[in-house]
Amino acid sequence: MTQISLSELFSHKHNPYPIYAQLREQVPLARFRWMGTDMWLLAGYDQATTILKDPRFTMDWQKVQPAQTGRSDDVASSYMPLAWSKHLLNTDPPDHTRLRTLVSKAFIPRMIEQLRPRIQQLMDGLLDTVQAQGEMDLVAGVAVPLPIAVISDLLGIPVEDRKLFRTWTQIIVQSQGAAPGQGASGLEAEKAFVRYIKTLITNKSAHPDNDLTSQLVLAEEAGDRLNEDELISMIFLLITAGHETTVNLIANGMLALLEHPDQMRLLCADSSLLPGAVEELLRYTSPVTLSGPRWALEDVSLYGQVIHKGEMVRCALLAANTDPQQFPDPDVLDILRRENQHVAFGKGIHFCLGAPLARLEGQIAIGTLLRRLPHLRLACDPQQLTWKEGGSLRNLVSLPVTF
């Protein structure tokens, strides 16, 4: 076992770099206890990219874990579509290939670029409501509502229902990893989420529109279609992954710029630097700190250790993104960085499907904030900022600014 505990790793949200550097230097493959079971954590860039692409590790836990039992039919019927049925984050080929093929057309860069005018309109509308005030919470005012509006537009979700998703997803994410008997609120949120998505699917089946939900309902590839459980899981995944991580990119990215005024001035002076700046902010802030879990399909020898069949492995993406073996001066924010093959979106076949959309939203949000609010400043000491608990996401509770 490593000398560093998971609680230590997860408690350094504002400045996580030293603790992850310590982990990287101690051992490339660290073993922890997590929720009563052993978990291996890789902290180096080479180690992470190896595991993320290694077919000896599966994202489908049902291949190595016995099926869970003991749930009531009512609970299981609501919970299974989110936790147990097949979706992009818990399948391997050929199931993963089939699911990704059915949905990927909507997320190719050319299609996402067509959303630019609408995203810009949404962003301008958010700033119109606060610009005269001279201050705001950047999380509540921009980082949360923009991604929710974008993914809701894409999926054809009515405006009046959108706040529900933020509430449900927050509860679900916060309940992940809860001790036995402590996840009831998350389960109730999932059940409510499933009921809503089922109704949405029924409505789109009867009255298809020009939105992604309708396209998924009607999607067909070589005679194949998504079944109801797959549709529910896919829409759930698109909503949660479609806004939770982008919230962190915008909020954490702006905090990084506010704490590095030289980089912010550089970006203000030349908007053509935005694409590269967003890539550097993705590397430097790592909105998702840990990769999704994988399980060994066989005994695997790595870095002098044996990962036994069925054991869980996760990658510390933030540690990989600040590995000096891959990135010169990794703890320096440099929006002019040239070689930037970060792993913020993962690697291999499970590379984030929504990466083009997250990048576009980040560019528009950050670029618009800097253009329209040139005197943007933090309204408190950075040490006073509060971060949400939990290990997989690095998310601010609020980010008060003045302008």
**Confidence (pLDDT) at 180:** 45
CA atoms of 395 and 253, how far apart (whole Å): 11
Averaged pLDDT for residues 36-62 = 91
Residue whose entry in the numeric block shows the structure tokens 């923009």: 146
Average pLDDT on 350-364 reads 95
Task: Please report, for the chain, the start and end positions of each structural domain, with discontinuous segments joined by +.
Answer: 6-402
Contact 47, 303 (CB under 8 A): yes
**Per-residue model confidence (pLDDT) at position 268:** 97
Tell me the sheet residues that pair with 307.
300
Tokens for 1, please give them. 């076992």
The answer to which of 54-63, 142-151, 321-330, 387-396 has the lowest mean pLDDT is 387-396
Name the packing angle between helices 228-241 and 162-175 (round to 10°): 90
Q: Give me the half-sphere count of Cα atoms (radius 13 Å) on the Cβ side of residue 35.
A: 15
Q: In this structure, are residues 156 and 213 in contact, taking their beta carbons and an 8 Å threshold? A: yes
Nearest Cα to 306, choosing from 31, 93, 34? Answer: 31
More confident residue, 99 or 165: 99
Rounded percentage of the chain residues whose pLDDT exceeds 90:
58
Task: List pLDDT tens digits, range 159-173.
Answer: 999 888 778 877 876
Q: What is the pTM of this model?
A: 0.90
For residues 80-101, one letter each, b for 16 or more C-beta atoms within 10 angstroms of the residue's C-beta and e for the rest, the string is bbbebbbbbbbbbeeebebbbe
pLDDT over 80 at 338, yes or no: yes
Task: Please state which CATH class domain 6-402 belongs to.
Answer: mainly alpha
Q: What is the pLDDT of residues 263-314, one digit of tens each?
A: 999 999 999 999 999 999 999 999 999 999 999 999 999 988 999 999 999 9
CA distance 304 to 318: 23
Mean pLDDT of the region 246-250: 96
Handedness of CA 190, 193, 195, 198 (dihedral sign): negative
Q: Is the predicted pLDDT of residue 182 greater than 60, yes or no?
A: no
Q: How many angstroms separate the CA atoms of 376 and 179, rounded?
A: 41
Helix then strand then coil, % of the chain, to nearest 5? 55, 10, 35
Indicate the length of the chain as a whole number: 403
Structure tokens at 139: 């999380």
3-state secondary structure at position 268 = helix
Give the separation between CA 100 and CA 106, rounded to whole angstroms: 11
Residue (of 330, 329, 315, 327) closest to 392 by Cα position = 315
